[in-house]
Amino acid sequence: MKESQDIESATVQLSPVLETTGLPGLPDSKERRYDRQLRLWAASGQSALESAHILVLGASPTSTSILKNLVLPGIGAFTILDDGVVEGKDLGANFFLETDSLGKNKAEEAIKHLGELNDSVAAHAETRALESILDDDPTYLHKFSLIIAENIPQRILERVTALLWDSSTGAGDGDADADASQTVAPPLIVVRTSGFLADFGIQLKEHSIITTHSDSAASLRIDKPFPSLLAHAFSLNFDKMDVTDHGHIPFVVILVRVLQEWKNDHAGKAPSTYAEKQEFKQRIVKMKKKDDEENFDEAVAQAYKAWTNTIVPSEIEALFNDPSTKNLTANSDPFYHLVHALQIYTSQPPHTLPLSATLPDMKSDTKSYIHLQRLYKEQAAEDKARFTDILRGIEAGAAGAGGGGSVALGMVDDFVKNAHALRLIRGKKWTGLTDDVEALTLAREMAPAAVATHLSLSALYAFEGKNGRLPKPGDGADREEMTAWVKARLTATGWAPEPEPEDSAMTGADEEEEEPMPKEITLWEHVTNAVGEVSRAPAAELPTTAALMGGMVAQEVIKVITKQYIPIDGVCAVDLASSTTGTVKV
């Protein structure tokens, strides 16, 4: 295409400034185009996106909004499945259809306008009916990396969810013996919208994330200093240092030193009471040679690190006991081999996770800081080597048992670096009708508004399933039927309508304790609002709702495909009348 040639020729720019420096040259055209996103998920995330093929069931306004947000960052390929024909109402709400599209196949028209957003993305239309594919060619769905279903009738949706869930054997099923025939069906995202309301959930068996981009930092091991750090802290003679050097001792070194000295005076124990902690901080303050030594101020501010125990976090401990780690086989996902290796690693002294090589910036001079950074890097490399040895041992054992491969080094690097922030999500089958009583009981207590939105959308689907038609907009009888459906679901969880407030404030002046609080909206009021909103415009694909869901679902797709950041665990319910969202595990 001409356009892409233009970018290519525009980008093969040499940089005279860099020519003789031996430095790598300017970023290429792709790096420049994707610069703002590569800063979020790096080349590894980008290459995962470029290998993905997404299937979207239905060319609705929400579907094309989702795809727009995936085509732009450069997903590999997408397919829209739709056997319908473009009508005026589709056109009016869908930015990716044109007046010319009227009367033509929806999928074919939509891919035309989505494809032009990015030449490097392959766009396909599938014009067969979904039901005929489910009847005649069910393995078709397994070709894709991820499938999105928006506003698919319950009857057909149930066939899709069953096909993808039941054919997928997650390692967590405990059927480890069957792993020769193990298939992993693509994750399915189910999206439902109705006027101002919407929800979505991801059906996937399990999803392990190494690069979570967690905000929590790895331990600096001040309480359990590695030998070279401890030796370094005691090799410095604080008293004899000149004022400049003294004012540049990194706070890590100060804390390691003060803590060790403290422990020597306190039978090996770190400060634990408030008084002790204050005394500990005073020790640091007293070490100052000048009032304005910021490194000592930093040490005081970070002193809590001295009495924070570096242990294996409980969430990571939980991974050790996960069935997939327990029932490890040669064909298990590499993640579980890594977790198992980590379990063995942490069972050995000093019973910590491998050290992170990342040292935050701190008040110091170049020499002291770079030296400290080198100590961390060297120890981290040593820890990683010990970890890798354990891992290779496990792999060798597995190979002896007739399988196994070797986890790529890059993945080992990432795993060790993020060992404190690993995440595992186990999903459940999407039922959409919220029949898990136990989960619903918990959710209605935790997030009543989100539950009301979710249930009212479920009621809409149930209505359509039962009556073979959508409720009539604003129709009282249809609304009552949906309300009754929601009430039955809630009643099954032991819920009873809140008694009407008996105007106690008016009659009884003696109830002083609870009254002054602003009145909270009850679950039932949320339900009345949500069902009322659904009844107002049951099938309305409001462009702003479609656009918002397009963004939210695309974020989730990106997180699932790149295996970076953390996708939702449950159902996210969106109410654009009240401008709120909530996530519930139902």
Partner 1 sequence: MSVAVEAPPAANGASSSSPQYPDQYYYVDQILDRPGPRTDEAFSAGDPVKSFLREQCKILVIGAGGLGCEILANLALMGFKDIHVIDMDTIDISNLNRQFLFRPKDVGQPKATVAAEFIMKRVPGVKVTPYYGKIQDKDDDYYMQFNIVICGLDSVEARRWINATLVNLVDPENPESLKPLIDGGTEGFKGQSRVIFPTISSCYECSLDMLNKPTAFPICTIANTPRLPEHCIEWASVLEWPKVHADKKMDTDDPEHISWLYKVASKRAKEFKIEGVTWQLTQGVVKNIIPAIASTNAIIAASCCNEAFKIATTAAPFLNNYWMLIGTDGVYSYTFEHEKKSDCPVCGGETMDVEVGKGWTIERLIEWLTENQKIQIKKPSLSLGTKPIYFQAPPQLEESTRPNLEKKVHELIPEGGEVTVTASTLPFTLTLRLAFV
Distance between CA atoms of residues 433 and 438, nearest Å: 14
Q: Report residue 386: phi and psi, to 5°.
A: -65, -40
Question: Cβ closer to partner 1: 411 or 566?
Answer: 566
**CA distance linking residue 216 with residue 421, whole number of Å:** 7
Query: Which listed residue (44, 84, 117, 263) binds partner 1 by CB under 8 A?
Result: 117
Please report, as residue ranges, which positions from 428 to 467 form the binding site for partner 1 (by CB under 8 A): none
- Does position 93 interact with partner 1 (CB under 8 A)? The reply is yes
- DSSP readout, 470-519? PPPTT-HHHHHHHHHHHHHHHHHTT--PPPPP--HHHH-S---SSTTSPP
Between 141 and 546, CB nearer to partner 1? 546
Selected from 12, 85, 87, 350, the binder of partner 1 by CB under 8 A is 87
- CA–CA distance, 187 with 363 (Å, rounded to integer): 47
Kindly tell me which residue out of 110, 459, 540, 586 binds partner 1, with binding defined by CB under 8 A.
540
Tell whether residue 126 is a contact of partner 1 (CB under 8 A).
no
Select from 81, 284, 554, 586 the one that contacts partner 1 (CB under 8 A): 554
Q: Which of 85, 122, 131, 213 binds partner 1 (CB under 8 A)?
A: 213
CB of 294: closest distance to partner 1 in angstroms?
A: 10
Q: What are phi and psi of 423, to 5 degrees?
A: -140, 145
- Asked if 313 interacts with partner 1 (CB under 8 A), we say no
Q: Taking the complex as a whole, how short is the minimal distance between the CB of residue 398 and partner 1, in angstroms?
A: 33
Provide φ and ψ at 584, rounded to 5°. -130, 145
Structure token digits, residue 535 = 């009844």
Nearer to partner 1, 173 or 569 (CB): 569
H-helix or E-strand spanning residue 535 = helix 523-536
Give the Å distances, CA to CA, from 536 to 203, 254, 450, 458: 29, 66, 19, 16
For the bound state, the minimum distance from the C-beta of residue 11 to partner 1, rounded and expressed in Å, comes to 8
In the region spanning residues 17 to 56, those forming contacts with partner 1, defined by CB under 8 A, are 17-18, 21, 23-24, 26-27, 29, 31-40
**Shortest separation between residue 246's beta carbon and partner 1, angstroms:** 14
Contact between 84 and partner 1 by CB under 8 A: the answer reads no
In the list 179, 333, 365, 378, the residue contacting partner 1 (rule: CB under 8 A) is 365
Site for partner 1 contains 481 (CB under 8 A):
no
* Closest to 292 measured CA to CA, from 334, 244, 338: 244
**Looking at 138, 153, 313, 473, which residue binds partner 1 (CB under 8 A)?**
473
| Chain position carrying tokens 């007293």 | 286
Separation CA 37–CA 70 (nearest Å): 12
- Rank residues 5 and 264 by Cβ distance to partner 1 and give the closer one: 5
Name which of 323 and 551 has its Cβ closer to partner 1.
551
